[in-house]
Structure 1
Amino acid sequence: MHTPSKPPRLFIVVPCFNEEQVLPVTAPRFLAKIEEMSNRHAIRADSRILFIDDGSKDSTWRIITELNAQDPRYQGIRQSRNRGHQNAVLAGLMEARDKSDITISIDCDGQDDFDAMDLMVDKYHEGYDIVYGVRSSRATDTFFKRFTAESFYKLLNILGAEIVYNHADYRLTSRRVLDALSSFPEVHLFLRGLFPLVGFPSTTIEYERHARFAGESHYPLKKMLSLAFNGITSLSIKPIRIIMNFGGIVSLVSFIGVIWALVSAIIGNTVSGWASMICIVCFIGGVQLLSLGIIGEYIGKIYLETKHRPRYIISDTTPECNN
């Protein structure tokens, strides 16, 4: 473990997408938290809040520039287009990497408990390089969202992907963790699975998640399912192994069926079996199409990864963003 000898410089990394309603509410709270922690000498007074505008269509970027004009501790970068939450978080982390000692990534909507940052920084002072924010409960979620989210974490672990249960993207990371993360060239990102791969001493803290301060969630079911499938195919090849094993079982059963059919034909005990034949053909066809779809997803990702396209492109920055 590292042993911090002086207060670290903190960058709070906040991805934003169409957050004109909630940003004016949460931005002062981020600043107040920095002032609170710097007053007790947990972090440096020149710590910053870095907003990442992920190609918003509303006035989010205008609000960020106005905040920066009021106080240079508010800083911002703007992506050239919407690249998704994971790429926005990565953009903020990589831009803050050389300017900070530690970063804390947190969503803009105010659902994550701001006071948990104090515990994260304290854990850093104890020597931890990664501190994962873990939800203590999902009481504020609907039954459907709670069930699907918990099933997702369990499924990923079953498939061999190492992730922290009930952790999203609320975490503290040290500079050396981000230096190591920068060597991961993946285009399709699933950050909550990459950080455990990076290693370094880590721990967790629990916090209560609240309802959004304003506005609506930008993570509907379609995006949640896309993130889940991306996480599975990015971190594990176990689905392909499951297909292989299942294919072996189906082949064995089919081979037994062929022997049974031949024996029946030899002894003259054959009957017309249209229904059974149709069922078998449909079953085998469905298995083949599903298997080809999963394999095709992996091949498609290989194709896209070989292009080495940039994971984010910054079009604008606020003044003094390089400080």
Structure 2
Amino acid sequence: MNKLYLVIPCYNEEEVLSETAKRLKAKMNALIAAERISPASRIVFVDDGSQDGTWTMIEKLHASDPLFAGIHLARNRGHQNALLAGLMQVKEHADAVISLDADLQDDIDAIDEFVARHDEGFDIVYGVRRVREKDSRFKRTTAQSFYKLMRLMGAELVYNHADYRLMSRRALDGLAEFGETNLFLRGIVPLIGYPSTAVEYERNERFAGESKYPLRKMLSFALEGITSFSIKPIRMITTLGFLIFAVSLVMLGYFLSVHFAGRTVPGWTTIAISVWAIGGLQLLGIGVIGEYIGKTYLETKARPKFIVERMIGVSDHREFSREHADSKRA
């Protein structure tokens, strides 16, 4: 039987953690009882520098049942980095890992199908939403536009897939080879290339707490994805520059012909519009190019994507902390 680990990034999730732990425990125990997964399987909560009592609750869950484990990051690093931290810390202990959000909007009954597809030999199993009827019209429209835009930009995204997926140990080893600082896992995972499939599921309403992805973060996430996986925006600016240059040559010929024909009329409106249009395009171009330069700057620094401060119950060792590691080295 395969050891299955669930990795759940958490940021200020004390409102949902008790119910989430209860539901996941029932699901994992059912799979263990059916001999679908090993009794050594784990539920791993990754605390992304929460400001509430999330880590305290994780410690209590682990103390009450070794099925639960925890990883505490030294500071808040964002959802993608927290998820990567969990995946990288457990990959040596698990045969397969499923990532999902703490609010359990992703249907955990799909886990059974995930395990079945892994047993058939698939290294990556994507959870794909069947419909988006429960989303608002605005969110549904923007989400669909995002996937279409990303494909237009050249990124290989799985349509209607977020971060609910199963990955084998081999796939996780492949993921570890990607060293970029600007993380967009939805775009990176399809690049691994091992056999993959998809499982459809229905997404539920959040049963407690508030969404950690307001519109501002969603827009930032979309920008991160576009600029991390495509240089087409820069090429679009280059194309636009050529078009404007060509138009300027045509207009130059027009203005010269009008001048020599003696039909020149002072036109402040034309000048004002031209100045504003060209100025806006220049600022836009500088902004897009600056975004890429900024990402290059961050990549060259090669700073760690996360720092694990403490782990409990992830492996056979009872507990790990930086203080304990420092004392051993001393």
TM-score norm. by structure 2 comes to 0.94
Contact 2:126 2:199 in 1 (8 A): yes
Q: SS in structure 1 opposite 2:164?
A: strand
Contact 2:107 2:203 in 1 (8 A): yes
Do residues 306 (structure 1) and 268 (structure 2) align?
A: no
What is the count of residue pairs matched by the alignment? Answer: 316
Q: How does 1:279-290 map to 2 (within 5 A)?
A: 279-290=273-284
Q: Distance in 2 between matches of 1:253 and 1:240?
A: 20
* Residue of structure 1 aligned with 2:19, choices 6, 14, 25: 25
1:180 corresponds to: 174
* Residue of structure 1 aligned with 2:185, choices 187, 191, 201: 191
1:321 corresponds to: 314
Do residues 100 (structure 1) and 83 (structure 2) align?
A: no
Give the superposition deviation at 1:267. 2.1
Q: Distance in 2 between matches of 1:247 and 1:178?
A: 42
Q: Distance in 1 between matches of 2:290 and 2:6?
A: 38
Q: Distance in 2 between matches of 1:271 and 1:124?
A: 74
Contact 2:32 2:38 in 1 (8 A): yes
* Residue of structure 1 aligned with 2:198, choices 194, 204, 208: 204
Q: What letter corresponds to residue 47 of structure 2 in structure 1?
A: D
1:262 corresponds to: 256
Give the superposition deviation at 1:150. 1.1
Q: Distance in 2 between matches of 1:176 and 1:223?
A: 31
Do residues 70 (structure 1) and 56 (structure 2) align?
A: no
* Residue of structure 2 aligned with 1:154, choices 127, 148, 167: 148
Query: Which sections of structure 1, spanning at least 5 residues, go unmatched?
Result: 1-6
Contact 1:25 1:213 in 2 (8 A): no
Contact 1:109 1:213 in 2 (8 A): yes
Q: Distance in 1 between matches of 2:124 and 2:133?
A: 26
2:321 corresponds to: none
Q: Distance in 2 between matches of 1:288 and 1:204?
A: 43
Moved over 6 A (4+): none
Do residues 128 (structure 1) and 122 (structure 2) align?
A: yes
CA-based RMSD of the aligned residues comes to 0.9
Contact 2:42 2:314 in 1 (8 A): no
Give the superposition deviation at 1:247. 1.2
Q: What letter corresponds to residue 18 of structure 1 in structure 2?
A: N
Once the two structures are superposed, what CA deviation does each residue of 1:14-53 show, in whole Å capped at 9, x if it has no partner? 0001110100001021111111112222211110011000
2:38 corresponds to: 44
TM-score norm. by structure 1 comes to 0.96
Identity %: 54
1:235 corresponds to: 229
Q: SS in structure 1 opposite 2:15?
A: coil
Q: SS in structure 2 opposite 1:103?
A: strand
Once the two structures are superposed, what CA deviation does each residue of 1:34-86 show, in whole Å capped at 9, x if it has no partner? 11112222211110011000000110000000000001110001111110000
Once the two structures are superposed, what CA deviation does each residue of 1:127-159 show, in whole Å capped at 9, x if it has no partner? 111000011111111111111111111110111
Q: Distance in 2 between matches of 1:313 and 1:289?
A: 37
